[in-house]
A and B are shown apart, each in its own frame.
Chain A
Amino acid sequence: MKKKRIYLVVIFIFIIGVGFTALHKWSVEHVIYMTGGVPHPIGCISCHVYPEREGLAANLLNEDYLSPLNASVSSDGSRLYVIAQEADLLIEVDLKTNKVLSNIKVGRRPHSVMLSPDQKIAYVSNQWANNIYLIDLVSHQVLDSIITGGGPACMDLSVDGKNLYVANTYTNNISVIDLLQKQEIKRLHGGNFPTGVAASPSGNFVFVSSQRSLPVGSRTEPQTEITILNAHTNRVEVRRNYTSAHIMENVAVTPDGDMAIVTLVRPKNLVPSAQIEQGWMINHGIGVIFNNGEMAQLLLDEPNAFYPDPYDVVIHPNGNYAYVSHSGVNIVSVLDLDVIRELINNASESELRMYANHLGLSNKYVVARIKTGANPKGLAISPDGKFVYVIERMEDHVSVIDTDINEVINSIDLGGPKRITLTRKGGKLFNNAGHTFHNQYSCYTCHPDGHEDGLTYDLTGSGRDFANVQTLRDLNGTAPFKWIGTNQSVYKQCGMRFSMFVTRTESFSPEDLDAVVAYIMRELTHPPNLNRLPHGELTEAQKRGKEIYERTMTTDGREIPEKDRCITCHNGPNYSNYQMADVGTLKEYDSPTMFDAPNLNNVYESAPYLHDGSAATLEEIWTKFNPDDQHGYANDMTKDQLNDLVEYLKSLGAARYYVEDINYNVNKGHL
């Protein structure tokens, strides 16, 4: 009996051993496949637990951070009001004690805060709710809300305090709000993704900067608009474009109004990416507009050191210095504006053009580089200019800079969680350029707010196969990745080949890769698509468009082959079947290939379209690039039908809002 037990134990151990060996072998092969052929020390938990958004493990592993973005200082310098974007809060800070006084609940994904001239009301833009909240700063109650366009971002008051100008990022327009009537009185067409707003002290103009380039066509340098409004007539006075620049997040005007300064990024997306040295991939700096209309761009980078993702700019009340936050390297640069004035005033046209690419020039006007905490975003300057408050998004902190000595003298804890989770660590890595050669760019640089920058890049360095940057939002369950579908996982996407072709330096360590992937998969998400009716219903045009999207017959009664129906390739919560297809969109500069059907979630904000960005609008996909109906049957449609289809496409939101049409069976190909 005892011997029998021993035999059973031995056999059991043997079976376990064999099973374990087989399982281990399979898991090693699985990991190699998913990470791109390189043995990788990740475990099951890396892909199957860390990126999860819901469930017990997700709740235990993660925290709810504040993630502050912007702030405003009260006119007496005693209070700082900070937007905690991911917590939907407005945080009031006492600047004498540097302590949080109160947390005020505001709307979804607040972006910016402005204080009324009498300091009694705070205006908070709620970017995911399309409105402005008016907050009573005594009672901390929401007094009112004002509807704006889609995605309200930065704001500024007119000099007389009567109007509030709001950049509506998602709908490319600018709201003019009459604060007496508490309603929007005008909505002006802005640039592409307007974000920053600054009113000139003279009261004559309002400057609105944009994040994305205007549609310029394939293989053409970006042109990004700064919209200048006439503050008296509330009309667009003039539209000026910065060439080969974009991501103009914020703008500020000098106290005497002689110039406006905008932060910007200068991508080299058309340059074959043969190397990264000498600023061959992306540069960063400022744009300047003088009141005589003269425009210039200046870099804040140096030949071997880059200062990516310039986010905010504030100007000292004496008009002599500007402070720029570089979110990608945890630095605030201090600029001597008199040097800049002299440099530009004495430059010829050709010199100005050269200055825009001159990496060695910044040492003339950058007088200090001040180290801050992780991911410095919004800046606020005290009314006397003595302090600059730096909002550190990935620290839940505010650093206080003494402008006399250009050093950080204090740090204000906003009260976020103290535990740094893996996902938070990934957020810091994502937003920091430390993993690229000479810090030239961070993940954020090409994927601002986890989205895409609207450009196509020559990443092969061959002048061919330009690739349209794709969004990183809501990637869970959407593999494979890349236009040609060669990456089975984000691990592979961000792995060794990423370091060879993109970052050009040491690849992420396994621990850092875990963190970055967890952040991307868990935290980056599409904003709500508010192109529908208020409760989510489709408009009439969108309903008609949906019928066209799901149709099986042409307008003249012919059956559409199943492979040529929209819904065949673009179905399900992400509007993709994750299959490869040739839709006839290859151009003369493309290598022969098929493309992975892209997701269509929030496609309205992903222009330009197609793998090479050649379609400036959704409409152009079919009017210019589908002559043979290879990309779905469209040539039989009327213009109205195409318009309706486009309206429906614009209504497609994130997967979490997907409602399956139970009447449609894609396999059977009919309603």
Chain B
Amino acid sequence: MQYNYWKYSLLSGIFFLSIACFFSACNSKNSFAGKVVFTQLPINNLNDDQLAQMDWKYLPEMNIVMANMESTLENIEVLTKDFYSARAPEVNFDGESMVFSGQKDENDTWQIWTLKFNGLEFSQVTQSGKDCTDPTWLPDGRIAFSQLIEEENGLKYHALFTIGSDGCCEQRISFQPHEDLNASVMNDGRIIFTSRQVYPENGRTKYLVMRPDGTKAELFYLPEDNYGKSLSDAVEDDNGNVLFTNSGRLISIKFSHPLHSKYDLLQMNQGSVMSVFPMDQNQYLLSIKKPTEHSFGLSVFSLNGNESNDFYYSNAEFNLVEPVIIMQRELPKKLPTRVNMELESGHFFCMNSDNSDIDIDVQSGETAKIQVLGLDTILGETAVEEDGSFYVELEADQPVRFQTLNGAGEILRGPSSWMWIRPNERRGCTGCHADREIAPENVVPKAIEKQPVAMVK
């Protein structure tokens, strides 16, 4: 048999080439790592009021831009040049793609899109007939975002949804007449978002947290003063701090103790801040308008409020906001769920309805009943037990409020904030508007020893 030189050379070549490709793939770095991605707002498209209230979610001609971050920005590239308008970039935890909200053409609704950096491959995630905005990645690869809800009665607000990155399985997860926006994910796996009541009257914007399945929504932080809508999305760094902007001020609160640990990071004379992104080594990338500037640029600050001299960039034609750096991040916790969409109700109980931090004088034992309110109806009433507890079955995924009544049917306290129950959720409270920092007493609430009172339509 003759030795086939060419055949064996070819086979060897293919073999060694495969080996080389294999190792090269193993060792390939993300060539986009370290770049910064941000939103460009044309200066003239935004008035001061809109800017102050961060009301740029659906403005025209915004773009998402990527650049190298050296002492200034270099190799600036508009990523969304094929979009009429786009904003709110957020990089995935693996650093290889981003999600954003975009309006493909001028008359289109805003939808959620993803972009793979390698190959600049766009993919539309939502196919909603309503505007979608403020997307954020969840640790299981799904995306949370806000979608405009328009009720038959004319009420308009944004609710939170989740969806697979392939567009599958869209599910609503917040069910209150609130503007629920600016969602982001904390290290413990919960979603933190800004929330402002819009019905029956406008309320203060606050931060709520909840599990990604829409359960256990609770207050995280309430600004002490009423700054209207101007809270940014909140970000958590590696030092246990949660940072956000509030009417141009950069605020830090302790994750472990959010309600009473507020700290202003910058002096007012340092500038007005619109967005913050935590970098490594206790540094933060800010969208900031310095007193001497006419637009928001990007700058790096440290935790003690000192500006880094190593980087600054601004552009006279644009406000630069929502910066994120392309980098790998540690995955937050993936929280389990007990939501069962085959069920239609959940259960809620209160340990002691007399337990409250509302400054209204109510004698212990004066509360006789709880009234459960829907959007425009009274869903039902139930007597409270001698220990002040009550236990109800609520229709799932419907907004409800509570108020306490005395024996004569007069309102003692309430109505409470809106809340909802997910299918199969069990939820409890220590009291009616009780201090959030107080754990429950270790007792069996009397009401739980009986069947829940149904408050379903």
Q: Smallest CB-CB separation from B449: which chain A residue?
A: A463
Answer yes or no: B166 CB below 8 A from chain A CBs.
no
How many whole Å from A300's CB to the nearest CB in chain B?
A: 12
**Residues A504 and B336 in contact in the complex (CB < 8 Å), given A303-B256, A303-B259, A304-B256:** yes
A506 contacts B437, CB within 8 Å? no
B256 contacts A302, CB within 8 Å? yes
A272 contacts B438, CB within 8 Å? no
Q: Smallest CB-CB separation from A219: which chain B residue?
A: B444
The interface residues of chain B, by DSSP majority, are classed as loop
Answer yes or no: B130 CB below 8 A from chain A CBs.
no
Q: Mark A280-295, 1 if CB is under 8 A from B, else 0.
A: 1001000000000000
**Residues A274 and B443 in contact in the complex (CB < 8 Å), given A302-B257, A359-B437, A505-B333:** no
* A504 to B338 CA separation, bound complex (whole angstroms): 10
List CB contacts (< 8 Å) of A497-538 with chain B: 499-500, 504-507
How many whole Å from A555's CB to the nearest CB in chain B?
A: 40
Answer yes or no: A368 CB below 8 A from chain B CBs.
no
The interface residues of chain A lying within 8 Å CB-to-CB of B435 are: 358, 360
A458 contacts B440, CB within 8 Å? no
**Residues A271 and B437 in contact in the complex (CB < 8 Å), given A305-B255, A504-B335, A505-B335:** no
A271 contacts B351, CB within 8 Å? yes
Answer yes or no: A357 CB below 8 A from chain B CBs.
yes
Q: Mark B316-350, 1 if CB is under 8 A from A, else 0.
A: 00000000000000000111111000000001010
The interface residues of chain A lying within 8 Å CB-to-CB of B448 are: 272, 462-463
* A358 to B439 CA separation, bound complex (whole angstroms): 6
B442 contacts A221, CB within 8 Å? yes
Q: Smallest CB-CB separation from B257: which chain A residue?
A: A302
Answer yes or no: B57 CB below 8 A from chain A CBs.
no
The interface centre, meaning the residue of B260, B336, B338 with most chain A CB atoms within 10 A of its CB, is: B336
The interface residues of chain A lying within 8 Å CB-to-CB of B444 are: 219, 270-272, 458, 463
Q: Mark B221-239, 1 if CB is under 8 A from A, else 0.
A: 0000000000000000000
**Residues A357 and B438 in contact in the complex (CB < 8 Å), given A270-B444, A303-B258, A304-B255:** yes
Answer yes or no: B216 CB below 8 A from chain A CBs.
yes
The interface residues of chain A lying within 8 Å CB-to-CB of B438 are: 354, 357-360
Answer yes or no: B156 CB below 8 A from chain A CBs.
no
A506 contacts B335, CB within 8 Å? yes
**Residues A274 and B335 in contact in the complex (CB < 8 Å), given A219-B444, A463-B448:** no
B349: which of A222, A272, A283, A299 is its contact (CB, 8 Å)? A272
Q: Smallest CB-CB separation from A353: which chain B residue?
A: B441
Answer yes or no: B428 CB below 8 A from chain A CBs.
yes
**Residues A280 and B188 in contact in the complex (CB < 8 Å), given A268-B440, A304-B255, A506-B334:** no
The interface residues of chain B lying within 8 Å CB-to-CB of A268 are: 439-440, 442
The interface residues of chain B lying within 8 Å CB-to-CB of A279 are: 439-440
Answer yes or no: A266 CB below 8 A from chain B CBs.
yes
Number of interface residues of A (CB under 8 A): 44
* A279 to B442 CA separation, bound complex (whole angstroms): 11
The interface residues of chain A lying within 8 Å CB-to-CB of B430 are: 278
A506 contacts B259, CB within 8 Å? no
How many whole Å from B340's CB to the nearest CB in chain A?
A: 12
B218 contacts A438, CB within 8 Å? no
B218 contacts A357, CB within 8 Å? no
Answer yes or no: A579 CB below 8 A from chain B CBs.
no
Answer yes or no: B262 CB below 8 A from chain A CBs.
no
Q: Smallest CB-CB separation from A362: which chain B residue?
A: B257
List CB contacts (< 8 Å) of A387-445 with chain B: 437-438
How many whole Å from B149's CB to the nearest CB in chain A?
A: 26
B333 contacts A506, CB within 8 Å? yes
List CB contacts (< 8 Å) of A280-335 with chain B: 280, 283, 299, 302-305
B336 contacts A274, CB within 8 Å? no
* A269 to B261 CA separation, bound complex (whole angstroms): 30
How many whole Å from A494's CB to the nearest CB in chain B?
A: 13
Can you name 13 extra interface pairs (CB under 8 A) apart from A275-B428, A303-B436?
A244-B442, A271-B428, A280-B440, A303-B258, A303-B437, A358-B437, A358-B438, A360-B437, A363-B257, A437-B188, A500-B338, A505-B335, A506-B189
A-B contact pairs, 28 of them (CB 8 A): A222-B442, A271-B440, A271-B443, A272-B349, A272-B426, A272-B445, A274-B428, A275-B427, A278-B218, A278-B430, A280-B439, A280-B440, A302-B257, A303-B258, A303-B437, A304-B255, A304-B258, A305-B257, A358-B437, A359-B438, A359-B439, A438-B188, A462-B426, A463-B445, A500-B336, A500-B337, A505-B189, A505-B335
